[in-house]
Amino acid sequence: MEASSSETTTDGSEGAYWCHGCSERIRDVNVEGEEPPTCPSCGEEMEFERSKGSASCAC
């Protein structure tokens, strides 16, 4: 079975938080609260980026 090239989610995800310095990624549906999470590797605040399938893609 091949993976689809389109990223569709059924769990309500609109993107993910990224730490560009560490290449860490946390999906938005795995974050509690309204504040951006901190990177588990370096402790810096992570940046939100929308997924390819949503409007205003940051890819």
What is the domain partition of the chain in residue ranges?
Answer: 15-50
Contact between 47 and 35 under an 8 Å Cβ cutoff? The reply is no
* pTM confidence score: 0.67
Per-residue tokens: 31:
């974050």
Give 9's pLDDT tier (boundaries 50, 70, 90). Answer: low
Query: What is the predicted pLDDT for the residue at 5?
Result: 43
pLDDT higher than 50, residue 50: yes
Interval 31-53 mean pLDDT: 91
Taken as a whole, the chain contains a residue count of 59
Per-residue tokens: 33:
């609260």
Interval 21-29 mean pLDDT: 96
How much of the chain is helix, strand and coil, in % rounded to 5?
5, 25, 70
Per-residue tokens: 20:
């560009």
Three-state DSSP at 29 gives helix
Q: What are phi and psi of 42, to 5 degrees?
A: -115, -15
